[in-house]
Amino acid sequence: MVYEECVTHESSWDADEALTAVYTAHYTSLVRLGALLLRDTGTAEEIVQDAFVAMHGRWNRLRDPHQALAYLRTAVVNRCRSRQRHLVVVDKHTPRSLPDEPSAEHAVLRTAETDRVIEAMRTLPEKQRTVMVLRYYGDLSEAEIAEAMGISRGSVKSHAARATKSLRQVLEQSL
Partner 1 sequence: MNDHSNDPFDELMRRALAEEGDRIEPADALPEIRARAHAQRRPATRRPWVVTAGAAALGTAAAIGAFTVLDDNGKSATDDQIAGPGTTTSASGVPLSTTPGPTTATPLPPTVVPSASGKPEPAVKGALVPVYWLGDRVGVTREPTVRLYRTWAKVQGRPAVEAVRIMTSKQPPDPDYYSVWRGAEVNSVTRGNGVVTVDFNQLPKTRLDPAVADVAAQQLIYTVQGALGDSSEQVQITQQGRPGGMLFGQVDTSRPLSRAQAANVQALVWINSPMDGQITKSPVTVEGIAAAYEATVNWRAVNLKTRATQQGFTNTKEGQKLSPFAVTLKLTPGQWRIEAYLISAEDGRITDTDSKTVIAK
Check binding of 70 to partner 1 (CB under 8 A): no
Q: Which of 89, 96, 106, 173 binds partner 1 (CB under 8 A)?
A: 106
Q: With contact defined as beta carbons under 8 Å apart, do 110 and 157 qualify?
A: no
- Per-residue DSSP letter, 124: S
Angstrom distance (rounded) from CA 153 to CA 175: 32
Angstrom distance (rounded) from CA 69 to CA 95: 36
Angstrom distance (rounded) from CA 140 to CA 173: 29
Mask: binding to partner 1, 126-155, rule CB under 8 A, as x and -? ------xx-xxx-xxxx-------------
Q: Which of 94, 97, 111, 173 binds partner 1 (CB under 8 A)?
A: 111
**Can you tell me whether residue 107 is helix, strand or coil?**
coil
* Shortest distance in whole angstroms from residue 94 CB to partner 1: 26
- Per-residue DSSP letter, 106: G
Q: Which of residues 39-68 bind partner 1 (CB under 8 A)?
A: 41, 44-45, 48-49, 52-53, 56-57, 59-60
Residue 97, phi then psi, degrees to nearest 5: -90, 150
First to last CA, the chain: 54
Of the pair 9, 96, the CB lying nearest partner 1 is at 9
Interface residues toward partner 1, by CB under 8 A: 1-3, 5-10, 12-17, 19-21, 23-25, 27-29, 31-33, 35-36, 41, 44-45, 48-49, 52-53, 56-57, 59-60, 102, 106, 108, 110-111, 113-114, 116-118, 132-133, 135-137, 139-142, 164, 167-168, 171
